[in-house]
Structure 1
Amino acid sequence: MIVRTLQQAEKDGRKIISPDGNWDSTRLLLKDDNMGFSFHITTIYKGADFQMHYQNHLESVYCISGEGEIETLADGKVYPIAPGTVYILDKHDKHVLRAFSEMKMACVFNPPLNGKEVHNKDGAYELTAETI
């Protein structure tokens, strides 16, 4: 059994801060835990407005707190995000995420992340990255 707290994971170096200043992510479950997915608690900072395109991963995101919106670039649709909203990027959707207030999100990635990933120039995570 694996048991971790958010606070301990942050102290153990599992909290990653984006170089662009849009988010931080505490990676509670990673590839080396051998579960087949990774699980993160991510904070999207108020005012963040950035494009992502997870070409190598599928992601499911549940909003715990805060408000914002997600826009899918293929069709220009905009979806509100508020506590209780889940969005699933099941087609490697190219999207823009906007935070109207600070948002706390629970995120699941498949395949799992190694730990140190940040977005590349295309807004994706690489399949190979440094581990925590």
Structure 2
Amino acid sequence: MIVRKLQDCIDTERQMKSENWNSVRLSLKDDNMGFSFHITTIYAGTETPIHYQNHLETVYCISGEGEVETVADGKIHKIEPGTVYILDKHDKHLLRASKEMQLACVFNPPLHGREHHDENGVYPLEAESVTD
């Protein structure tokens, strides 16, 4: 059994930050679960273009408010506590936070933990070669 506390992972190699978000990666590929699990904070007033070409993701909103826009059709979906959105088709999207949002995120395949979005909003499939 693996037991981790969110607070114990903050400000460690398990936390990745950008100007729009920070993500605490509680379960990663090396835990051998077949998925990774993260608690991610999206900062208020930001817009983040994302296109997970190599991963599927499910996102559950714990707190805050925002919206997700699917680029292909321009549909905008309100995100608020209790909302889940599932990127089951590698959907290219824009994530906007009107109030700081805390999200629980699951990735398949799992992340290694050091990934950052590239210029297209993509995480690489294998991140062993990713450098900070």
TM class by smaller structure: over 0.9
Following superposition, the deviation at residue 127 of structure 1 comes to: 1.1
Corresponding residue for 2:5? 5
Distance in 1 (CA, whole Å) between partners of 2:87 and 2:126 is: 20
Aligned partner of 1:31 among 29, 32, 39: 29
After superposition, where does 1:24-103 map in structure 2 within 5 Å? 24-103=22-101
Distance in 1 (CA, whole Å) between partners of 2:42 and 2:48 is: 10
Structure 2 SS opposite 1:100 = strand
What are the superposed Cα offsets for residues 83-105 of structure 1, whole Å, 9 maximum, x if unpaired?
00000000000000100010000
Corresponding residue for 1:14? 14
What are the superposed Cα offsets for residues 71-123 of structure 1, whole Å, 9 maximum, x if unpaired?
00111100000000000000000000100010000000000000000100110
Unaligned runs of 5+ in 1: none
What are the superposed Cα offsets for residues 44-96 of structure 1, whole Å, 9 maximum, x if unpaired?
00011121100000000000000000000111100000000000000000000
Number of residue pairs matched?
A: 129
Q: TM-score, normalised by structure 2?
A: 0.95
Letter of the structure 1 residue corresponding to residue 58 of structure 2: S
Letter of the structure 2 residue corresponding to residue 86 of structure 1: V
Following superposition, the deviation at residue 11 of structure 1 comes to: 4.4
Q: TM-score, normalised by structure 1?
A: 0.95
RMSD value over aligned CA atoms? Answer: 1.1
